[in-house]
Amino acid sequence: MSGGMKMYGKHRFPGRLFIVEGKSTQLMLLQKWLESEGYVTSFSEWNSSPLVREVTRRGKKKQMLTPMTFSLIHATDFADRTEHGIIPPLKAGAVVLADRYIYTAFARDVVRGVSPKWVRDLYAFAVKPTVGFYFRTPLDVAMKRILGGRDAIKYYEAGMDIGLSEDIEESFRLFQARIIEEYEKMIEEFGLVAIDATRSIEEQQTEVRKIVSDALTGTKKSKVRRWLDLASLAKGSRK
């Protein structure tokens, strides 16, 4: 952290940061495309700091987390992600792709009753994304996807800790509805790009690639390539 702490919107890096709220598949497809185009990419995901993740997992399993500690432990994890996984590659000129970002925390924590101002201040150290994508999914579609597939809904995922309903499915529905409301408010506040997630995967990806492509003009792969060329030159032997 030498050189003082930079706040949201104040970082200046040669790299680019694209974040996705809601669709991991779209991010994966974006990464494939960027790599095929010759960009150096780096991937960053939620709950990825090994030491912090232990605390989060145990806290969730034993239901020890309050809205406040839920918020703080995720911010701790996110800080580790920022300090180790996001800032260094951005400095090196890479394209960083983040699956879930501060907006996930803003939505969930505020629904849990944490002050909207406080949680925004808490994450003030985050790097502002070049583009933030929000995949808009209607509540009934989201419900079908979660209830239809995979494992049982988890306690905190359903917002059971805030006592919306005794029934886990009903709690999940009420919780998700409020989360969606928070995201809708954030579209304007943070200039998120909303993508209609009810369209086909291909249609969504085409739109994402077009927006990313526009945001890459000016930095471009040539710059990344030049940096790589210099790196290979430095390895060569002296004349």
Partner 1 sequence: MARFSFFGEGLPEIELAELKGKLIVLEGTDGVGRSTHIGLLRQWLENHGHAVLDTGMTRSALAGKRLKQAKEGHTLGGITMSLFYATDFADRLENEIIPALRAGFIVLTDRYIYSLMARAIVRGAAPDWLREVYGFALKPDAIFYLRLNIDDLVTRVLQSAGGFDYWESGMDLHLGEDMYDSFVRYQRWLLSEFDKMVEVYGFEIIDASGPVEEVFPDLRDRVARIVESNGC
Stretch of 27-35, 64-72, 165-173, 180-188 lying at the interface with partner 1 (CB under 8 A): 64-72
Touching partner 1, residues 7-46 (CB under 8 A): 7
CA–CA dist 132, 129 (Å, integer): 6
- Burial group, residue 221, by CB count within 10 angstroms (0-12, 13-18, 19+): middle
Contacts of 8 by beta carbon, 8 Å cutoff, 6+ apart: 123, 124, 125, 126, 127, 128
Stretch of 31-39, 55-63, 215-223, 231-239 lying at the interface with partner 1 (CB under 8 A): 55-63
> From the CB of 139, what's the least distance to partner 1, in Å?
24
Assess contact for 63 and 155: CB atoms under 8 A.
yes
**Plot region of 6 (φ>0 → left; ψ -120 to 50 → alpha; else → beta):** beta
Q: Is residue 113 involved in binding partner 1 (CB under 8 A)? A: yes
Q: Is residue 57 involved in binding partner 1 (CB under 8 A)? A: no
Q: What is the number of other CB atoms lying within 10 angstroms of the CB of residue 73?
A: 18
Count of residues interacting with partner 1 (CB under 8 A): 38
Stretch of 15-23, 75-83, 91-99, 200-208 lying at the interface with partner 1 (CB under 8 A): 75-83
Assess contact for 77 and 49: CB atoms under 8 A.
yes
Using N-to-C axis directions, what is the helix angle for 50-61 and 67-80, rounded to 10°? 160
Q: Is residue 79 involved in binding partner 1 (CB under 8 A)? A: yes
- Nearer of residues 49 and 130 to partner 1, judged by Cβ: 49
CA–CA dist 45, 194 (Å, integer): 20
Contacts of 137 by beta carbon, 8 Å cutoff, 6+ apart: 22, 145, 180, 197, 198
Q: Is residue 55 involved in binding partner 1 (CB under 8 A)? A: yes
Stretch of 50-58, 149-157, 214-222, 226-234 lying at the interface with partner 1 (CB under 8 A): 50-58
Binding mask 137-176 for partner 1 (x = CB under 8 A): ----------------------------------------
Point out which residues bind partner 1 (CB under 8 A): 1-5, 7, 49, 51-52, 54-55, 58-59, 64-69, 72-73, 75-76, 79-80, 82-84, 112-115, 117-118, 121-122, 124-125
